[in-house]
Amino acid sequence: MKYEHLLERFLTYVKVNTRSDETSTTTPSTQSQVDFAQNILLPEMERVGLKDVHYLPNGFAVGTLPATDSRFKHKIGFISHMDTADFNAQGVAPQVIENYDGSPIPLGTSGYELNSKDFPNLGNYLGQTLITTDGTTLLGADDKSGIAEIMTAIEYLSAHPEIPHCEIRVGFGPDEEIGIGADQFDVEDFNVDFAYTVDGGPLGELQYETFSAASAELTFHGRNVHPGTAKDQMINALQLAIDFHSQLPATDRPELTEDYQGFYHLLKLEGTVEKASASYIIRDFDEANFDKRKALIEQIASQMNKELGDERILITLKDQYYNMRQVIEKDMTPIEIAKEVMEKLDIKPIIEPIRGGTDGSKISFMGIPTPNLFAGGENMHGRFEYVSLQTMERAVDTIVGIVSHIN
């Protein structure tokens, strides 16, 4: 179905810079997210018909659409995040390409282009309306497409009171891209039986499995002496980092893994002979394998310290989130409802694991099972990002279908 304000709403949202900042000590991490929530989202939430609209200290803008029919036994939530990823988000100037014909799309005057050779998925969108970047910024479809879709679904339901639906809670939150947005999520305030993050990619994605995730920060302490007299005296901290990394499984890297395969990802390596540091993220779908990966990090460091005769390698391991399947598989109702609705809408459900995480990973373990629905974005987090208006419309259809599904 076509929705009158969906495109306009999305274009308005993406032009606002809401990039999060992992170095910040505040929640939300940037004032721009606070301003976006308070000055743009909250007033619009009230305009589209949400009740009890409020802004929480955790950075979430929350509202309720009361049920219109007592037959509904579930209260359902929909959640999307306001922040965008670590890429230029200042001066977003989206391009709207109508009736896409398959030819390369110049991204403004940047010299970059979208083409089906580099991005084969473009072939799925012939004849559709695409929204792209101008090549100098990201687009922000992750996750302003989700916000626009939820807002549009609420607007549609408010304008059509004849459509029976359950009680709906809406939450737009901060800092998902830096992994802390849901840390202070208020489960008691949200008060639903289950929820969906509308934060997925192409049409039909329905996901209830994520990686379990941890970070590892390593510090290597060396001893610097003149290289001419270094024999049996110098301990090169950078070499220690290299030796450590070489003992991790060579094939367990993101670029060599897929599907349910986990990995170690070296994010940063820097330093001098005297001192070096390395940052890793650790990912696995299987709980036992996840624990083994963390244990291996510690074992390598312990053995190296033993051989060095000193504690020269220090590790800080921190769990980030866990595979939400552990929660959701206990009651598959939200998956079964979404799958049935998609099939009725002639959308093929794509039920596959997320090789990443969403706010739903943490919220599920807080007590609200929260799988992930498609929002439409492709090539997210960079200048080649784009989204199909028709996919966004289908996401709205799916949201409306879920809340009007009597179960």
Q: Which residues are catalytic?
A: 83, 176
Q: Any binding-site annotation on 142?
A: yes
CB atoms near residue 250 (< 10 Å): 9
Residues counted in the chain: 407
The span from the CA of 325 to the CA of 328, in Å, is: 5
Q: Any binding-site annotation on 381?
A: yes
The span from the CA of 222 to the CA of 311, in Å, is: 10
**CA atoms within 13 A of residue 173's CA, in its CB half-sphere:** 30
Write out the H or E segment, with its range, that includes residue 396.
helix 389-403
Q: Any binding-site annotation on 165?
A: no
Query: What DSSP letter does each residue of 14-65 carry, written as one string?
Result: HTS--B--TT--SSSSSHHHHHIIIIIIHHHHHHTT-EEEEE-TTS-EEEEE
Q: Which residue, chain included where needed, has tokens 């979404």?
A: 338
| C-alpha triplet 104, 109, 115: angle, nearest 5° | 15
What token pair was written down for 33?
Answer: 């997210």
Radius of gyration from C-alpha coordinates of the chain: 23
Q: Which residue, chain included where needed, has tokens 């312990």?
A: 302
Query: What DSSP letter does each residue of 232-257 carry, written as one string?
Result: TT-B-HHHHHHHHHHTS-TT-SGGG-
Phi, psi angles (nearest 5°) of residue 95: -105, 140
Q: What is the dihedral of CA 207, 172, 347, 118, to 10 degrees?
A: -80
> Do residues 152 and 1 make contact, with C-beta atoms less than 8 angstroms apart?
no
What token pair was written down for 406?
Answer: 């009597």
Where residue 127 falls (left for φ over 0; alpha for ψ -120 to 50; beta otherwise) is: left
Nearest to 333 by CA among 275, 281, 407: 407
Q: Any binding-site annotation on 232?
A: no
Q: Any binding-site annotation on 177?
A: yes
Binding residues: 81, 142, 177, 199, 381
Binding residues for Zn(2+): 81, 142, 177, 199, 381
